[in-house]
Amino acid sequence: MKIKVGFGYDVHQLVEGEEFWLGGIKIDHVKGSLGHSDGDVLIHAICDALLGAANLRDIGFHFPDTSTELKNIDSKILLKRTVDLIIAKGFSIGNIDATVALQKPKISSIIPKMQKKLCEAMDIDLEDLAIKATTTEKLGFVGTEAGITAYATVLIQK
């Protein structure tokens, strides 16, 4: 068995008037992620981690922000395509550990919904996806609510 680890990171600016998508769930909030797709930083970080682990470059290579086909695309579609890419290379997902850094809104109560939605998209068990949330104690662009970040570590196996 071959085991590989990948790490992903994404950041998006938060602006008023944009929809706020996180973990495949639309969240009611005064600000949303500015992005070419739906701006779901959690999904983008997971995609980058999976692609990196399989040595398949990064999310921008496979899903460029210059593509009109991908404008406003649901990031769950990108996640499914990413999983298809690693499966085509002979890998399966072992587990994913992800952290979202945002000041507001508090997302603890919707993490189970995000886990369910993302596990369905990746066809993995709930126990194989951990999602955590943190703040930056009002420091930096996350603390001032100017942006949101997500980090993901994955284990894939062949």
Q: Quote the percentage of the chain above a pLDDT of 70.
A: 100
Instruction: Tell whether 136 is in a known binding site.
Output: yes
Instruction: Tell whether 141 is in a known binding site.
Output: yes
Instruction: Tell whether 60 is in a known binding site.
Output: yes
Taking 80 as the threshold, does the pLDDT of residue 72 lie above it?
no
Give the model's pLDDT for residue 105. Answer: 93
Instruction: Tell whether 58 is in a known binding site.
Output: yes
Taking 90 as the threshold, does the pLDDT of residue 42 lie above it?
yes
Instruction: Tell whether 44 is in a known binding site.
Output: yes
Instruction: Tell whether 41 is in a known binding site.
Output: no
Instruction: Tell whether 153 is in a known binding site.
Output: no
Where residue 79 falls among pLDDT bands split at 50, 70, 90? very high
**Model confidence pLDDT, tens digit, residues 102-123:** 999 999 999 999 999 999 999 9
Across the range 63-75, mean pLDDT stands at: 81
Q: Taking the model in full, what pTM does it have?
A: 0.96
Alpha carbons 141 and 119: distance in angstroms, whole number: 30
Instruction: Tell whether 134 is in a known binding site.
Output: yes
Exposure letters 129-138 (e unless 16+ CB within 10 A, then b): bebebeeeee
- Please report the domains of the chain, with CATH numbers, ordered by start residue: 3-157 (3.30.1330.50)
Instruction: Tell whether 99 is in a known binding site.
Output: no
